[in-house]
Amino acid sequence: MSSPAVDFARANHTRFLEELKALLRIPSISTLPEHKKDVKAAADWLAAELKRIGMENVEVIATAGHPLVYADWLHAAGKPTSLCYGHYDVQPPDPLDEWKTPPFEPTERDGNLYARGAVDDKGQMLMHVKALESLFQAHNGKLPLNVRVILEGEEEVGGEQIAKFVREHGDRLKADFALVSDTEMFAPELPTLCVGLRGMIYTEIEARGAKTDLHSGMYGGAAPNPFVALAQIITQLKDPSGRILIPGFYDAIKAPSEDELKAWQTLPFDEEHYRTTEVGSSQLTGEPGFSVLERTWARPTLDVHGMPGGFTGAGAKTVIPAKAVAKVSMRLVPDMTPQQAFTQYKSYVESLKPKGIELDVRLIHSGDAIVVGTDNRYIEAAKDAMKDVWGRDTVFVRGGGSIPIVGDFERHLKIPTVMMGFGLPDDNLHAPNEKFHIANYYRGIESIIVFFEKLGSA
């Protein structure tokens, strides 16, 4: 596979990688207020880069939260318009002591680039920019199609500001399809398009007992314990087999089609290999009667992420804390809605209130589940482009994660999204030692170049 733009990209591998490293050095952790300036610095870095490569109307758009970055190039009359989306914020790096090299000092090791955000999503987002740069360079300062770029800085904390922008300024994002690279390949060397995502609700349950922290010697046996209360509630949310016990929770589920389920069975997937290499636990868990792919792509799930409160230091402090919190999220599948799921969950949790405990059940953020139709020219072109670059048939999969913006594009802009991602299953997203396979960064850039050239020449 070759074209002048692909040749340009290949000739610039080293520089493209160094530019990604520069972006990864900015600790743009959107959930931590002390990193607000870093998030802004990442936005400014990207705006400067978009301007440098030839994009127009570049703007860092201030919001009530972290800024958006917008740019466009709209001079390909009669050609389709792509809306390129990415996010430049990252998850917190904790637990820090489990990183082999510092999370914000990108380090090459065994063909991979290790850093927080390497694949989620700075590396994948920058593939778009580098593809555009290569196309500008190879097409005499022009692009083969129209492009708008919109980047956000709070995907990891719910993406509230971009959702608002999409709702209120749809005219500024007018396009024929969106391109999102925030997903992964099903297996190394296997070109993959993601055509479905789970939605989510992320919640907190706060349990309050005594008015102040109490000594467990003096008050143990009389004062309610918020951790015990939360444990009782969590245990009633999901049975030991993994089935969620919230009344009505499964009612709205639309199962995958027979064809889709059949296609999943042909994917190169071995549960035992997945267990040992990716999860590493003694057994896998989850609802009985469903395969791992069904459980992680097409079934709702419930997880607890942390339980702040009380004493968490080394050693012993014999406190009955006045309050404790459980961070609980649920993944949703079509046609469940976050609104309905949260209503069912909240009312069920409140019905479980243990003796002497007051509860506060809060929704922190949410996103819709989505399924993209595969019968449109953009998905077709993407499929063909990936096949050209990777030399193998492209497979369609779903993702277990949530990219709420894809639902917003569908709902408010009425456009389909091409989810063309180049992460690998062992990339450690949201975990210590996150990485991006460097060869995938390069071939991702090529895939996008070819995809855009196909759409521009049709």
Q: How far is the CB of 68 from a second copy (least distance, A)?
A: 19
Cα 119-122-123 angle, rounded to 5 deg? 55
Closer to a second copy by CB, 79 or 299: give it. 299
Closer to a second copy by CB, 91 or 137: give it. 91
Looking up tokens 């694949």, which residue turns up?
119
Counting contacts by CB under 8 A, is residue 158 touching a second copy? yes
4-43 binders of a second copy (CB under 8 A) = 31-33
Q: How far is the CB of 430 from a second copy (least distance, A)?
A: 4
Q: How many CB atoms lie within 10 A of CB 439?
A: 14
* 29, 38 Cβ separation under 8 angstroms: yes
Total interface residues for a second copy by CB under 8 A: 101
Using a 10 angstrom Cβ sphere, with 0-12 exposed, 13-18 middle and 19 or more buried, the burial of residue 37 is exposed
212-241 binders of a second copy (CB under 8 A) = 212-225, 227-228, 230-232, 234-235, 238, 240
What is the rounded end-to-end Cα distance, in angstroms, of the chain? 18
Task: Name the residue type at position 251.
Answer: D
Binding segment toward a second copy, per CB under 8 A, in 138-146, 166-174, 194-202, 368-376: 194-202
Which of 60, 170, 274, 380: binder of a second copy (CB under 8 A)?
Answer: 274
Whether the ω angle into residue 27 lies within 30 degrees of 0, i.e. cis, is: no
Closer to a second copy by CB, 27 or 144: give it. 27
Counting contacts by CB under 8 A, is residue 64 touching a second copy? no
Closer to a second copy by CB, 18 or 350: give it. 350
Helix, strand or coil, per DSSP, at residue 72: strand
Contacts of 219 (CB under 8 A, 6+ apart): 210, 320
Counting contacts by CB under 8 A, is residue 404 touching a second copy? no
Task: Name the residue type at position 56.
Answer: E
Binding segment toward a second copy, per CB under 8 A, in 72-80, 247-255, 379-387, 421-429: 421-429
Strand ranges for 135-185 from DSSP E:
146-152, 177-180
Task: Give the dihedral sign, CA 182/183/189/191.
Answer: negative
Counting contacts by CB under 8 A, is residue 265 touching a second copy? no
* 112, 442 Cβ separation under 8 angstroms: no
Distances, alpha carbon 261 to alpha carbons 289, 301, 371, 398, 418, in Å: 14, 19, 14, 11, 21
Orientation of helix 13-24 relative to helix 36-53, angle to 10° = 160
Distances, alpha carbon 247 to alpha carbons 250, 344, 345, 347, in Å: 8, 7, 8, 10
Binding segment toward a second copy, per CB under 8 A, in 44-52, 103-111, 299-307, 368-376: 299-307
Q: How far is the CB of 13 from a second copy (least distance, A)?
A: 28
Q: Measured between alpha carbons, how far is 332 from 253 in angstroms, rounded to an integer? A: 9
Q: How far is the CB of 122 from a second copy (least distance, A)?
A: 16
Closer to a second copy by CB, 302 or 381: give it. 302
Q: How far is the CB of 457 from a second copy (least distance, A)?
A: 36
Counting contacts by CB under 8 A, is residue 334 touching a second copy? no
Counting contacts by CB under 8 A, is residue 318 touching a second copy? yes
Q: How far is the CB of 210 from a second copy (least distance, A)?
A: 5
Q: How far is the CB of 21 from a second copy (least distance, A)?
A: 23
384-403 binders of a second copy (CB under 8 A) = 399-402
Q: How far is the CB of 167 from a second copy (least distance, A)?
A: 21
Which of 60, 253, 319, 439: binder of a second copy (CB under 8 A)?
Answer: 319
Looking up tokens 């210590």, which residue turns up?
432
Binding segment toward a second copy, per CB under 8 A, in 3-11, 78-86, 91-99, 449-457: 91-99
